[in-house]
Amino acid sequence: MEQHFYLAKGKMFGIFVLMVLLLLLSTALIGSMLFIDEELAIGTFTILVLIFLLFAWCTIFIGKKLVNSEPAVTVSPHGLTIYMSEPIDIKWSDIEGFVPYVYQRNRFLGVVLTNENEYIDNLQPTGRRLAKLNQKLNFPAFNVSMNLLKEEEAFLEALGKNNAIFFMEE
């Protein structure tokens, strides 16, 4: 039986509101700098615009996640499906185990695979870059964000029912 696990919309909405406020603040900062300082340096203006674009991109990204109705992860008898930029279907036979870890106060459950590169090579460029970045930082290529998962305990129970092996962080 497939079990779908979703992101906590309340937490996502709070992050979205924060990003909208930061976007408005950066817009106001750029506007006030243009009106107050007539000799605004090109470098300062460029940095402010880049900050604005970063906040705009993050706001759009989080907004898409907020209105998206697809699950964050699905557990089935065949394997695990992680929804990143695209769904990644991982067979149970390819999963060695799971490693919980914390990075910058965010909790993750890393999926340790027998051959990560087999899955990475089948990804689109965006997903491939993200997976390779995770590998470069010595993390598993594929992870589930536990902080934003709505039913964390039920997810861990579903993994346990499929005889998942959990490695402990050193």
Note the pLDDT of residue 40: 64
In a domain, 170, yes or no: no
Residue 105 lies in a domain: yes
| 95 in the same domain as 153 | yes
- Specify the pLDDT at position 112: 92
Residue 39 has a pLDDT of 66
Rounded distance between C-alpha atoms, residue 55 and residue 76, angstroms = 36
pTM equals: 0.69
Give me the phi and psi of 27, to 5 degrees please.
-65, -45
Total number of domains in the chain: 2
Question: CB of 48 within 8 A of CB of 30?
Answer: yes
pLDDT (0 to 100) of residue 113: 92
Whether the Cβ atoms of residue 152 and residue 2 lie closer than 8 Å to each other: no
Q: Do residue 39 and residue 53 come from a single domain?
A: yes
Domain shared by 83 and 145, yes or no: yes
Is 97 in the same domain as 34?
Answer: no
Asked if residue 167 belongs to a domain, the reply is no
Cα 129 from Cα 142, distance rounded (Å): 12
Q: Which of 22, 39, 67 is the last residue of a domain?
A: 67
**How many angstroms separate the first and last alpha carbons of the chain?**
34
Domain termination residue (choose one: 37, 67, 97): 67
Co-location of 46 and 123 in the same domain: no
> Distance of alpha carbon 22 from its chain centroid, rounded?
20
Task: Quote the pLDDT of residue 98.
Answer: 92
Between CA 110 and CA 78 the distance in angstroms is 19
Domain extent, residue 118, equals: 73-161
Residue ending a domain, choose from 67, 91, 116: 67
Q: What is the pLDDT of residues 13-36, one digit of tens each?
A: 888 888 888 888 877 877 777 677
Does residue 127 share a domain with residue 105? yes
Per-residue tens of pLDDT for the chain, all 170 residues: 888 888 777 777 888 888 888 888 877 877 777 677 666 667 677 777 888 888 888 788 777 777 777 888 999 999 999 887 788 999 999 999 999 998 888 899 999 999 988 999 989 998 899 899 989 999 999 999 888 888 888 898 888 888 778 777 55
- HSE, side-chain direction, 13 A CA sphere, residue 170: 0
